[in-house]
Structures are given as C-alpha cells and as structure tokens.
Amino acid sequence: MTDSIPVLWSDGALLVVDKPAGLPTLPDGYNPQAPHLKRLLEPEYGRLWIVHRLDRSTSGVIVLARTVQAHRALNAQFQEHTVEKIYHAIVTGAPDWEETAIDLPLRADGDRRHRTVVDAQGGKPAVTHLRVLERFAGYSLVEAVPHTGRAHQVRAHLLAAGFPLVGDALYGGAPLWPARGRPGSAPGVEAGVPLLARPALHACSLAFRHPLSGEWRRFEAPYPPDLAAALAALRESRD
C-alpha cells in the first residue's frame, strides 16, 4: 500500500511524503476503518505523529514526526508561522493582478455545508499571498502562500477573491473538461470524462528547520499525473 506514497525524506526524527489526492491524513469520522495516511505508513515506519494536515483531495508535501520531541519542535514552528508552505492551484478566471495578498478573517465550519467562510466579526486572522504563474483561456495557474494555517484557507480565500479552484464543488469550482471538439486532447482522457474533477490544489513545497539540526530544509513534490495532464491540456488549448 505504501508504494503509492512517495517518500521524500526519512530519518530518525522526520518522515516527509508526497500524499496522493483522495487519501485523508487522519481517520474519516464517517468511516474510521477507511485507509488514511497515518495508518498506511505506521506499519513500515513505526509510530508517527501528525504535525499538520492536507485536505483529502489535496496532493503534495506533508511532514510527520517520528518522535515526541520532533513533534513538539515542529508544532512550535507551525504555531509560530515560521514554516513556509507553497501551493499551486488551477483557478477559474483571469485575475487582473500579477500578485496580491488576501487578508480576510476566516471561520471554520461557518455554514450549513461546513465550509470555512469569511467572517469579519467571528473569524480568525488569515493572510494568503497569491501570484499568477501562468494564464490560459478562462483559467490561471496560481501560487498560493498561506501565512496562517486556517482550515481550507487557500480554498476559501480564492473563492473570496472571485477565483475558485477548478474541481472544487464545495467552494464553487466546476470540473475542468477537455477542449470542445478535442475530447482526447490529453493522454488517457476519454470523451465525457473531465480532465480534473477534484480540487486543483497541490502542496508543492514545504520548508522548515529540522527539529534536531536546526538546518533550514525544503522539500518539493512534483505535480501528480492528473494535475500535470490538466495543465498540458490547458497549454495545448492556449497554443
């Protein structure tokens, strides 16, 4: 089972992996017996401590602690917002800016759909820096750097900015379909099947100080096949 979870780094204190989309970090409250990241990794790597989470639908870099001491040290860095998290996202629309910062307080579980919502009175401070990396016809590839760690922060801030994530039905994003007249434009995509149906969000980089050495370390994960194929199709449509 762990063959599908690429390991980016492993030592006595840390385990850094590239989490595939569709796999929850922790047990699902509705189905506690379903596979999750911690359960799949512990038989091979021993007891692990969760430091932070990625949404089930989000792919990319996640770090787990292998000792109580490492867990404590990493938790402190996350709480002090000294960890650098970089996400890449495909969004619907064309921003009229190249870079911007979204500074809007967020409240988790803020509506009937259990979404994170902007709430000026009851929300917690949240800041996300956004930068356009690439533009397509009707879509954009955006870098998102959250400076706080609120639940669904990137998804909620992108919606508030008017550019929901492709494939993010919970936050108003529609699936990405093949270009009209070219249903087979991306390898492996059949007519009537979306290029990307899950939220187009990937945790591509995570940087922090190693809890033992204090050395600043950066870990990166390549785009997963579905995101890479979607970007290839968008570039082909643009060209």
SS3 call for 44: helix
Distance separating alpha carbons of residues 141 and 160, to the nearest angstrom: 17
Quick check: is 55 catalytic? yes
Q: Which helix (H) or strand (E) holds 8?
A: strand 7-10
Judge whether 174 and 92 are in contact, CB under 8 Å: yes
- Which residue out of 3, 18, 28, 55 is catalytically annotated? 55
- CA dist 153 and 69 (Å) reads 28
Residues 6+ apart with CB under 8 A from 127: 101, 102, 103, 146, 147, 148
**Residue 158 CA: distances (Å) to CA of 99, 117, 201, 233:** 13, 11, 11, 22
Note whether 159 and 111 are within 8 A (CB): no
106 within 8 A of 126, measured Cβ to Cβ? yes
Q: What whole-number distance in Å separates Cα of residue 94 and Cα of residue 142?
A: 10
β-pairing verdict for 201-209 and 59-65:
parallel
**Catalytic residues, which ones?**
55
